[in-house]
Amino acid sequence: MRALAVLLLLVCVGEAQAHSGHVHWTDTDTTWTWNPWVTVPLIVSGSLYAMGTAHLWRRAGIGRGVRIWQALCFAAGWLLLVSALVAPLHWLGERLFVAHMIEHEILMTAAAPLLVIGRPVAMLWAFPTSLRARIGGWGQSPSVTTTWLWLTTPPTATLLHGLALWIWHAPGLYEAALADPWIHWLQHLSFFVTALLFWRALLMGRQRTYGASVFYLFVTSLHTGFLGILLALFRRPIYPAQTSQAAEWGLTPLEDQQLAGLFMWIPAGMVYAGAALILAGLWIARSGPRHLGGRHAHAAR
């Protein structure tokens, strides 16, 4: 909530101080992003999920296959993607580093886990039976199964997500993404896809992976927090192009970078810590005498 308040304050200050024509955030032609490479995947994914879930519930009953709370999680994640990539936050992120960081963190630590929890596999039910069977058969082929299992193991998913984060924050690549829309799109895609793999590996694994998931969340919070600390404590702007317009929003370039680093360090770190606590609680609860007794009784049969 504090980060949101800071962002809203910056928007209000920016409207009063910006040198480029008194742009208002409701000006959909200017501050909203309608790039088809962003909007079309959003529309297609949201439509497929809605149709697939409706079809599944018609056949199996409401809440079967995909629970209502899971569908709500997917909807929340999808709306967060819209808020990050289409709404004025993206436009602001091209002018203010802290807004760009908030956009990235929404993609990786908010939208991605909510979409994973929402069981996006429900999209398959939007297709005809014959096509759904063909897609299912392709997905069960040995090469696809082996690759998917490798990508969604916690060590691999954590490493890929960490590499994407650190590589794209190298000054040369980060500045190149700001200068070229295609590279910028690839940066966001890398962050988002590796985040989906990361959260899929940690949240949707079997019970025996809870302890490992807590460990990999801790590792991720450490290295992302360290990157945030570097940005917050560095004595000069690392990305001159990103912070070049900070003065229009009442900030110095260094202050803009420090705010971005603090947001990556503290609020994003709290997401990882919260997820680790939840998984640790599930791990402890499902390791209790009641669950162990049920497991032993089942094995005795």
Domain edges within the chain:
2-300
Which pair of tokens denotes residue 161?
């997500």
Which pair of tokens denotes residue 140?
């069960």
What phi and psi, each to the nearest 5 degrees, are found at residue 250? 80, 20
**CA Rg value for the chain:** 21
End-to-end, the C-alpha distance of the chain in Å comes to 52
Which pair of tokens denotes residue 6?
């800071």
Provide the whole-model pTM: 0.86
pLDDT band at residue 205 using 50, 70 and 90 as cut-offs: low
In this structure, which amino acid lies at residue 203? L
Closest Cα partner for 127 from 41, 224, 51, 14?
51
Residue 137 has pLDDT above 50, yes or no: yes
Residue 225 has pLDDT above 50, yes or no: yes
Residue 265 has pLDDT above 80, yes or no: yes
At residue 131, the pLDDT reads 84
Which pair of tokens denotes residue 110?
């908010």
Question: For the chain, where are the E strands, in sequence order?
Answer: none
